[in-house]
Chain A
C-alpha cells in the first residue's frame, strides 16, 4: 500500500543535470538551432530546467515551448476521460530546429506519438530528440528516448508520480501500487 520514493529532490536535480551533460556532449553543434518543447504538464517545467542547465553548460539562450497533446490523443471516444486541457505555446518557428521533446514519464509511447503529430502541424524540425526523466517501460509503439534520467522496471498496474516544485511544491519521483490515489 505504501508509495516508494525513487528520487528525492537532490536526485531529480542531478538527473536533469546528467541529461543536460549528455545532450551537450553527444548532440553535435551548432547549438544555435536548439529548442526545447515540454509536454504538458510536468514536461513544461522540466523543459525550462533543462534549458537553464544547458545554458549553464555554455549553450546559447534556448527557446522553450509547451505542448498540450489532448486534442491529438488516439483514445477519444474509447475511454471516459475528461482531461484538463492546457494551452500549447510555441512562439518560435520549428522549421529547421533541433528539437528536444521533454516528457516526465515515458510509458506506452502514445503521448509521444500524439506530440510528434502535433509538432508536425507546426513546422518541420530538422531533428527531434526525445528526453524523459523516467522511462518505466511497457511501450505499445516503437518509440525510444534518446536521453533518460532513470530507467525504472515497473508493473503495468503500478503508477509513477513525478513531483516538481513549480507544480507540486516539491521535487520527487514516486512509485506506488494502483490502490494508492494521489488525486
Chain B
C-alpha cells in the first residue's frame, strides 16, 4: 500500500503492525538522544491547507526524530493565495523530490486526489469530514496501552459525529479490532445509516447518560463551531447541558473508564476542566502517543512497497521454528 488515506482501507493486521512499530518508537522518548537514523536522507513535506498546530507539530517532530528532513508549508502564506491549484502545488513538491507528503485539507478526498497524481507517499493528516487516520491510530494506541485489548470493550464517541473525521477513523479502526462503539450526540449531528456502514458493533444513542453505562472509554469530540454552517442545535449552553462530559456524568461509566479528546478542547463546553485535568484523562498521553504513532506510520510506509498487505506477526514469529528440526 503506497499511501495512508484512511483506516477504512486497512486490515486489522495492518493496523496492529503500525501499533507494534509505534511501541518501540515511544520507548525512544525516554532516551537522552531521542533521534534515530532510520529515515536519514528522506524528505517529508507537510502540506497543511487548513489550520493545525498539534497535528503539524506532531508530524514534524515524528519526522525529525527519524532523522528525515521536513519542509513546511502553510496555505495562508503560500502560492495557494495566488490561485495555485492543489494538484499544481503537489506536483511542485513532487518536482522537488520529496518522499512523503503529509496533507491536511478542508475537502474530503483531497489527499486521495494527490496520491493518484504523485509518486511520493501521501499521508492523510485530516481531510474534511472524511478521515484522520493517524488520530484514529493514536486513540487506539492509547486505549490499548491502558486496557491491553480492544475486543469486547465499549467505547463511546460523543459529539458532532456528522462533521468529524476523527469519529470516522475511530469507528473504522475500533470496529476492525473488535470494540463496540456507541456514538452519541444531537440527532441532527449523527449521520443516518451508521450501523449499515460500520456493522452491528456500532450503536447510536441520543442520551449521553444512557450511552455511558458500562463504558470503558469515552472519546469526547471537539464542538467544531467553524464546521457547522447551520442550526444543528439551539445553543452551546444547551449542548453542554445535554452532551458535555462532567464529573457527575463520568460516574455512570465504569470506574476505570478512560477519557480521550483529540484537542484542542473547549473547556466548559464539551468537557469540564475537572474531567479534562482529572486522573482518567488521557489527553496529554494522546499527544505523546501521537508522535510515536506518526513515527511508526512514516517508518512503515518508507519501505519500497509501503505498508505490506500481510505484515509480519510478532507473536507468530517466535513459533515458526519447528520446520528445520523435522528436516534433520
Contact = CB atoms under 8 A, between A and B. Distances in A.
Interface of A: 1-3, 5, 68, 70-73, 76-88, 117-118, 121-122, 161, 163, 167-170, 174, 176, 180-183
Contact of A87 (B24, B299, B324): B24
B31 A85 contact: no
Contacts of B303: 76-77, 80-82
Contacts of B95: none
Given A117-B37, A121-B33, A82 B308 contact: yes
Nearest to B22: A85
A66 to B, nearest CB: 11
A119 to B, nearest CB: 11
Given A71-B37, A76-B38, A77-B304, 15 more contacts: A2-B328, A71-B28, A72-B37, A76-B303, A82-B312, A84-B312, A85-B24, A86-B24, A87-B23, A121-B36, A122-B31, A167-B321, A182-B321, A183-B320, A183-B323
Interface of B: 17, 20-21, 23-24, 27-28, 31-33, 35-39, 42, 66, 299-300, 302-305, 308, 311-314, 317-318, 320-321, 323-325, 327-328
Contacts of B66: 71
21 contacts: A2-B328, A5-B328, A72-B38, A77-B302, A80-B303, A80-B305, A82-B303, A82-B308, A82-B312, A84-B312, A84-B313, A117-B37, A121-B31, A122-B31, A122-B33, A161-B321, A163-B321, A176-B324, A182-B323, A182-B324, A183-B320
A176 B304 CA distance: 29
A77 B306 CA distance: 10
A3 B327 CA distance: 6
Given A2-B327, A77-B304, A80-B303, A87 B321 contact: no
Contacts of A77: 42, 302-304
Contacts of A183: 317, 320-321, 323
A121 B31 CA distance: 9
A88 B312 CA distance: 19
Contact of B324 (A3, A73, A84, A117): A3
Nearest to B323: A182
Contacts of A84: 20, 312-314, 317
A121 B24 CA distance: 16
A167 B21 CA distance: 20
Contacts of B23: 85, 87
A88 B28 CA distance: 9
Contact of B304 (A78, A88, A118): A78
Contacts of B299: 71
B89 to A, nearest CB: 25
Contacts of A78: 304
A118 B42 CA distance: 20
Contact of A76 (B302, B305, B321, B323): B302
Contacts of A3: 324, 327-328
